[in-house]
Amino acid sequence: MTLPQKDPSAPPPEPVILPRSEHPISRKQIDEGSLKVLYRLSRNGHLAYLVGGSVRDLLLGRTPKDFDVGTDATPNRVKKLFRNCFLVGRRFRLAHIRFGGDNLIEVATFRRQARPEDLPEDPAEHFMVTENVFGTPREDAFRRDFTINALFYDIKTFSIIDYVGGLEDLQARRLRVIGNPLVRFTEDPVRMLRALEFAARLDFSLDEAVRSAISLRAPLIAEAAPARIREEIMELFRHQVAGKVLRSAQGLALLPHLLAGFGGDSATFELLDQVDARTAQGVAIDEPFALAALYLSRFLRTCPQDEQLMVTDAVRLAGLVLAPHCSYFHVAHGIRHQARELLVGFFRLRRGRGHRGERRFLQHPMTPQALELFSLWSKTSGQFGEVLEAWNQILNQAEESSPQPKKKTTRRRPRRSRRGRGKPSGGNPGN
């Protein structure tokens, strides 16, 4: 894939089109359900493009997580073409087409930026209208966030279509925002976090204009909806880039506004790198474990190693450390409780064996995860090696000696005769 050198800050006036012979994407790499959707839309006279991250990943030789489709067919038209389609969203209308159990293809109609004449008189309806003004593929490409996410694969010609310079940025392994980064980050501050996430996941460099804009617009991230930020943070853990991204966020002055009071230190970032490596090895990450890892260093500063501290003190201090985060992000009580139990379990592991309540602690359902956290911290800090070994031995012994649960047997009740149910057997009932 060879492209002419151009100024990366100026989008090409005409799209760059790579024919099938000049790019590596094959239909064999595309999900079967997505191909069915693309072909049916095309056969019925509509533009049908593979869009977004799937095109980017296929060009990079990666396996896409999902395959999204863009088309000039309206959502209602898509629904008429597919019996297995249902429409979702009010402010952003999408068509979901389901094949089998969990194979769901998302189909979006090309959109454009709303013009003044498109806006309704009622301000309450403005946002819904601005998200549902249909447009051309070019207009749709310029609405997207990053150039590498605005590439299209045309099922009719098998070509790649690039309106925004995304192919050049892929070749340069550079993350660049479509349009003015200061304006785009003001429109949606969460894009700053997504920029750091994509750069970390793909091992791309950040365009200098993007870095500068993040530093200038960093305070705006605090105005984003807490639910969105909470989900984006968990996405960092799921994609095994939490350590990289939060370290970058600190360097760009974004972290204090993203996680107020977090105050990441080098030990925490190294622990998060260990957590990411654990996830990469196939161990599923959940929110309680992520929270405990995020706030473990702060908990240790609040709850130092002191023989005078009791477990009840550790419970109280762990709750205080987690409270600001859990309150701001509306974390459910059950998740908060599990994160607190992991921190308290760490406290009990750190102080060593031979303390009151050890038998109950060994049987606690959160103890194995607390031991994992303790092990990761030991790797990071180089501390507690002997203590960790002692706990591993006793927990292994406890597992080996624990009796296997007996199968519960139920005695079958004797079957009652259907003849003369509720009446004495034999004889004349009238006697």
**Residues with catalytic roles:** 66, 68, 145
3-state secondary structure string, 339-350? HHHHHHHHHHHH
Tell me the two tokens of residue 6: 């151009």
Contact in structure between 242 and 282 (CB atoms under 8 Å): no
Please enumerate in sequence order all residues whose Cβ is within 8 A of that of 253, keeping only pairs 6 or more positions apart, or say none: 215, 218
Amino acid at 251: G
Shortest CA distance to 390 belongs to which of 349, 418, 428?
349
Shortest CA distance to 299 belongs to which of 359, 344, 333, 257?
344
The strand pairing partners of 85, in sequence order, are 97
* Residue 208 C-beta-side C-alpha neighbours within 13 Å: 2
Identify the sign of the CA torsion 181, 182, 185, 189: positive
Phi and psi at residue 212, to the nearest 5°: -65, -40
Q: What is the DSSP string of 61-101?
A: TPPPS--EEEESS-HHHHHHH-TTEEEE-SSS-EEEEEETT
Amino acid at 260: A
Shortest CA distance to 232 belongs to which of 287, 187, 178?
287
- The CA distances from residue 231 to 319, 329, 393, in Å, are 22, 10, 37
Amino acid at 374: F
- The CA distances from residue 31 to 50, 54, 101, 104, 152, in Å, are 11, 10, 14, 10, 16
**Rounded distance, CA 56 to CA 45, Å?**
26
**Rounded distance, CA 56 to CA 148, Å?**
6
Counting every residue, how long is the chain?
431
**Rounded distance, CA 49 to CA 76, Å?**
18
